[in-house]
Chain A
Protein backbone atom coordinates (compact mmCIF):
# COMPACT_ATOMS: atom_id res chain seq x y z
CA UNK A 1 0.00 0.00 0.00
CA UNK A 2 1.30 3.46 -0.94
CA UNK A 3 1.93 5.58 2.13
CA UNK A 4 3.51 8.92 3.01
CA UNK A 5 4.59 9.58 6.58
CA UNK A 6 5.62 13.03 7.79
CA UNK A 7 7.43 14.09 10.92
CA UNK A 8 7.22 15.87 13.18
CA UNK A 9 3.45 16.24 13.36
CA UNK A 10 3.91 19.77 14.69
CA UNK A 11 6.80 22.12 15.30
CA UNK A 12 7.23 25.45 17.07
CA UNK A 13 10.28 27.61 16.37
CA UNK A 14 11.40 31.18 16.93
CA UNK A 15 11.49 33.67 14.09
CA UNK A 16 14.83 33.65 12.33
CA UNK A 17 15.65 30.04 13.17
CA UNK A 18 16.03 27.22 10.64
CA UNK A 19 14.05 23.99 10.65
CA UNK A 20 13.80 20.73 8.74
CA UNK A 21 10.68 18.70 8.04
CA UNK A 22 10.82 15.02 7.09
CA UNK A 23 8.87 12.85 4.68
CA UNK A 24 9.18 9.06 4.23
CA UNK A 25 7.25 7.26 1.55
CA UNK A 26 6.54 3.78 0.24
CA UNK A 27 5.01 4.83 -3.10
CA UNK A 28 6.26 2.65 -5.93
CA UNK A 29 7.20 2.94 -8.72
CA UNK A 30 8.20 6.49 -7.87
CA UNK A 31 7.42 9.36 -10.26
CA UNK A 32 7.72 12.62 -8.35
CA UNK A 33 7.54 14.19 -4.91
CA UNK A 34 6.08 17.58 -4.14
CA UNK A 35 6.01 19.78 -1.08
CA UNK A 36 3.01 22.04 -0.56
CA UNK A 37 2.43 24.87 1.89
CA UNK A 38 -1.10 25.26 3.20
CA UNK A 39 -2.11 28.35 5.15
CA UNK A 40 -5.03 27.96 7.54
CA UNK A 41 -8.32 27.99 5.66
CA UNK A 42 -6.65 28.08 2.24
CA UNK A 43 -5.81 25.54 -0.45
CA UNK A 44 -2.31 24.03 -0.66
CA UNK A 45 0.27 25.87 -2.77
CA UNK A 46 3.13 24.04 -4.47
CA UNK A 47 6.65 24.83 -3.19
CA UNK A 48 8.84 22.30 -5.01
CA UNK A 49 8.58 19.27 -7.23
CA UNK A 50 11.33 16.67 -7.72
CA UNK A 51 11.60 13.67 -9.99
CA UNK A 52 13.79 10.59 -9.54
CA UNK A 53 16.89 12.26 -11.00
CA UNK A 54 16.69 15.40 -8.87
CA UNK A 55 18.05 15.29 -5.32
CA UNK A 56 17.66 18.94 -4.37
CA UNK A 57 15.38 21.81 -5.34
CA UNK A 58 15.23 25.32 -3.92
CA UNK A 59 12.50 27.92 -3.85
CA UNK A 60 13.72 30.99 -2.01
CA UNK A 61 14.25 30.09 1.63
CA UNK A 62 12.80 26.61 1.05
CA UNK A 63 15.12 23.77 0.02
CA UNK A 64 13.84 20.28 -0.59
CA UNK A 65 16.03 17.19 -0.82
CA UNK A 66 15.22 13.75 -2.12
CA UNK A 67 16.93 10.40 -1.54
CA UNK A 68 15.12 8.01 -3.85
CA UNK A 69 17.17 5.05 -2.57
CA UNK A 70 16.00 5.42 1.03
CA UNK A 71 12.66 6.93 -0.05
CA UNK A 72 13.11 9.98 2.10
CA UNK A 73 12.68 13.70 1.52
CA UNK A 74 13.24 16.74 3.66
CA UNK A 75 12.15 20.35 3.47
CA UNK A 76 14.56 22.84 5.01
CA UNK A 77 13.37 26.33 5.86
CA UNK A 78 16.07 28.95 6.38
CA UNK A 79 15.73 32.09 8.47
CA UNK A 80 12.06 31.44 9.28
CA UNK A 81 9.51 34.23 9.13
CA UNK A 82 6.15 34.60 10.83
CA UNK A 83 4.50 34.03 7.43
CA UNK A 84 6.03 30.55 7.31
CA UNK A 85 3.47 29.45 9.91
CA UNK A 86 1.41 26.89 7.99
CA UNK A 87 0.96 23.20 7.33
CA UNK A 88 3.54 21.62 5.03
CA UNK A 89 2.32 18.61 3.07
CA UNK A 90 4.45 16.02 1.28
CA UNK A 91 2.80 14.45 -1.79
CA UNK A 92 4.17 11.51 -3.78
CA UNK A 93 3.02 10.24 -7.17
CA UNK A 94 3.58 6.85 -8.79
CA UNK A 95 4.69 6.44 -12.37
CA UNK A 96 2.26 3.63 -13.17
CA UNK A 97 -1.29 2.84 -12.30
CA UNK A 98 -3.37 5.52 -10.64
CA UNK A 99 -2.82 9.22 -11.33
CA UNK A 100 -3.92 9.89 -7.79
CA UNK A 101 -1.05 11.11 -5.63
CA UNK A 102 -0.55 9.98 -2.04
CA UNK A 103 -0.71 12.77 0.53
CA UNK A 104 0.98 12.94 3.90
CA UNK A 105 -0.94 14.32 6.86
CA UNK A 106 1.30 17.36 6.99
CA UNK A 107 3.55 19.05 9.54
CA UNK A 108 2.07 22.03 11.31
CA UNK A 109 4.71 24.74 11.73
CA UNK A 110 4.28 27.69 14.07
CA UNK A 111 6.83 30.48 13.99
CA UNK A 112 6.86 32.68 17.10
CA UNK A 113 8.26 36.23 17.20
Chain B
Protein backbone atom coordinates (compact mmCIF):
# COMPACT_ATOMS: atom_id res chain seq x y z
CA UNK B 1 0.00 0.00 0.00
CA UNK B 2 1.63 3.26 -1.18
CA UNK B 3 -0.80 5.53 0.65
CA UNK B 4 -2.58 6.63 -2.53
CA UNK B 5 -6.12 5.31 -2.79
CA UNK B 6 -8.44 5.15 -5.78
CA UNK B 7 -12.15 4.42 -6.00
CA UNK B 8 -13.77 2.48 -7.40
CA UNK B 9 -11.27 -0.28 -8.15
CA UNK B 10 -13.40 -1.60 -10.98
CA UNK B 11 -16.11 0.03 -13.08
CA UNK B 12 -18.20 -1.54 -15.82
CA UNK B 13 -20.38 0.79 -17.81
CA UNK B 14 -22.32 0.90 -21.04
CA UNK B 15 -21.15 2.98 -23.96
CA UNK B 16 -22.46 6.52 -23.75
CA UNK B 17 -22.66 6.66 -19.95
CA UNK B 18 -20.63 9.04 -17.80
CA UNK B 19 -18.21 7.78 -15.16
CA UNK B 20 -16.27 9.48 -12.39
CA UNK B 21 -13.19 8.20 -10.58
CA UNK B 22 -11.71 9.51 -7.36
CA UNK B 23 -8.10 9.67 -6.19
CA UNK B 24 -6.96 10.44 -2.64
CA UNK B 25 -3.24 11.25 -2.66
CA UNK B 26 -0.75 11.09 0.19
CA UNK B 27 -1.78 14.06 2.32
CA UNK B 28 1.40 16.14 2.16
CA UNK B 29 1.91 15.65 -1.58
CA UNK B 30 1.33 18.76 -3.66
CA UNK B 31 1.47 17.13 -7.10
CA UNK B 32 -1.13 14.78 -8.50
CA UNK B 33 -1.08 12.97 -11.84
CA UNK B 34 -3.58 10.94 -13.84
CA UNK B 35 -2.44 8.26 -16.28
CA UNK B 36 -4.14 5.73 -18.53
CA UNK B 37 -2.66 2.29 -19.09
CA UNK B 38 -3.69 -0.38 -21.55
CA UNK B 39 -2.52 -3.97 -21.56
CA UNK B 40 1.18 -4.37 -22.35
CA UNK B 41 1.86 -0.66 -22.39
CA UNK B 42 3.43 1.75 -19.94
CA UNK B 43 1.26 4.43 -18.34
CA UNK B 44 0.28 7.32 -20.65
CA UNK B 45 0.10 10.78 -19.10
CA UNK B 46 -3.33 12.43 -19.05
CA UNK B 47 -3.10 15.45 -16.76
CA UNK B 48 -1.22 16.93 -13.81
CA UNK B 49 -2.06 19.21 -10.88
CA UNK B 50 0.17 21.22 -8.62
CA UNK B 51 -2.00 21.91 -5.59
CA UNK B 52 -5.38 22.87 -7.07
CA UNK B 53 -4.03 24.16 -10.38
CA UNK B 54 -4.22 21.94 -13.44
CA UNK B 55 -0.89 22.73 -15.10
CA UNK B 56 -0.66 20.29 -17.98
CA UNK B 57 -3.04 18.26 -20.09
CA UNK B 58 -2.13 15.65 -22.67
CA UNK B 59 -3.46 15.80 -26.19
CA UNK B 60 -4.87 12.36 -25.34
CA UNK B 61 -7.34 14.12 -23.06
CA UNK B 62 -10.28 14.76 -25.33
CA UNK B 63 -13.13 17.13 -24.49
CA UNK B 64 -14.97 14.20 -22.95
CA UNK B 65 -12.40 14.01 -20.15
CA UNK B 66 -12.27 16.47 -17.29
CA UNK B 67 -10.32 16.46 -14.05
CA UNK B 68 -10.55 18.54 -10.94
CA UNK B 69 -8.64 18.88 -7.71
CA UNK B 70 -10.64 21.21 -5.48
CA UNK B 71 -8.71 22.57 -2.50
CA UNK B 72 -5.60 20.75 -3.66
CA UNK B 73 -6.53 17.51 -1.93
CA UNK B 74 -8.42 14.66 -3.62
CA UNK B 75 -8.99 14.64 -7.36
CA UNK B 76 -11.71 13.39 -9.66
CA UNK B 77 -11.50 12.28 -13.28
CA UNK B 78 -14.74 12.28 -15.24
CA UNK B 79 -15.29 10.69 -18.62
CA UNK B 80 -18.46 11.74 -20.43
CA UNK B 81 -20.18 9.71 -23.14
CA UNK B 82 -17.82 6.77 -22.68
CA UNK B 83 -16.58 4.85 -25.71
CA UNK B 84 -15.23 1.31 -25.92
CA UNK B 85 -11.78 2.74 -26.56
CA UNK B 86 -11.85 4.28 -23.09
CA UNK B 87 -11.53 0.81 -21.56
CA UNK B 88 -8.25 0.85 -19.65
CA UNK B 89 -6.67 1.08 -16.22
CA UNK B 90 -6.73 4.65 -14.91
CA UNK B 91 -3.88 5.33 -12.52
CA UNK B 92 -3.42 8.21 -10.13
CA UNK B 93 -0.05 9.17 -8.67
CA UNK B 94 1.06 11.80 -6.22
CA UNK B 95 4.41 13.30 -5.31
CA UNK B 96 6.07 16.01 -3.26
CA UNK B 97 8.19 18.37 -5.30
CA UNK B 98 11.82 18.15 -4.27
CA UNK B 99 14.84 19.26 -6.27
CA UNK B 100 16.16 16.40 -8.40
CA UNK B 101 13.99 13.65 -6.95
CA UNK B 102 10.27 13.66 -7.37
CA UNK B 103 9.15 10.06 -6.88
CA UNK B 104 5.58 9.43 -7.85
CA UNK B 105 3.58 7.08 -5.65
CA UNK B 106 0.88 5.29 -7.58
CA UNK B 107 -2.53 4.19 -6.45
CA UNK B 108 -3.92 0.72 -7.26
CA UNK B 109 -5.81 2.05 -10.26
CA UNK B 110 -9.39 1.95 -11.45
CA UNK B 111 -10.08 -0.57 -14.20
CA UNK B 112 -12.75 0.70 -16.57
CA UNK B 113 -14.62 -1.61 -18.92
CA UNK B 114 -16.95 -0.02 -21.44
CA UNK B 115 -19.41 -2.47 -22.99
Contacts and interface: CB of A to CB of B under 8 A. Distances in A.
Interface stretch (B40-48, B64-72, B75-83): B40-48
- Interface magnitude class on chain B: 20 to 34
B89 to A, nearest CB: 8
B109 A43 contact: yes
Interface residues of A, number: 25
Contacts of B50: 99
Given A41-B89, A41-B109, A43-B4, 13 more contacts: A32-B101, A36-B106, A42-B109, A43-B93, A43-B107, A44-B91, A44-B106, A45-B106, A89-B43, A95-B100, A99-B50, A105-B41, A106-B40
Interface of B: 2, 4, 31, 33, 40-45, 48, 50, 55-56, 89, 91, 93, 97, 100-109, 111
24 contacts: A31-B100, A32-B101, A32-B102, A41-B109, A41-B111, A42-B108, A42-B109, A43-B4, A43-B106, A43-B107, A43-B108, A45-B106, A46-B103, A46-B104, A46-B105, A51-B101, A98-B56, A100-B56, A103-B42, A103-B44, A103-B45, A104-B42, A105-B42, A106-B40
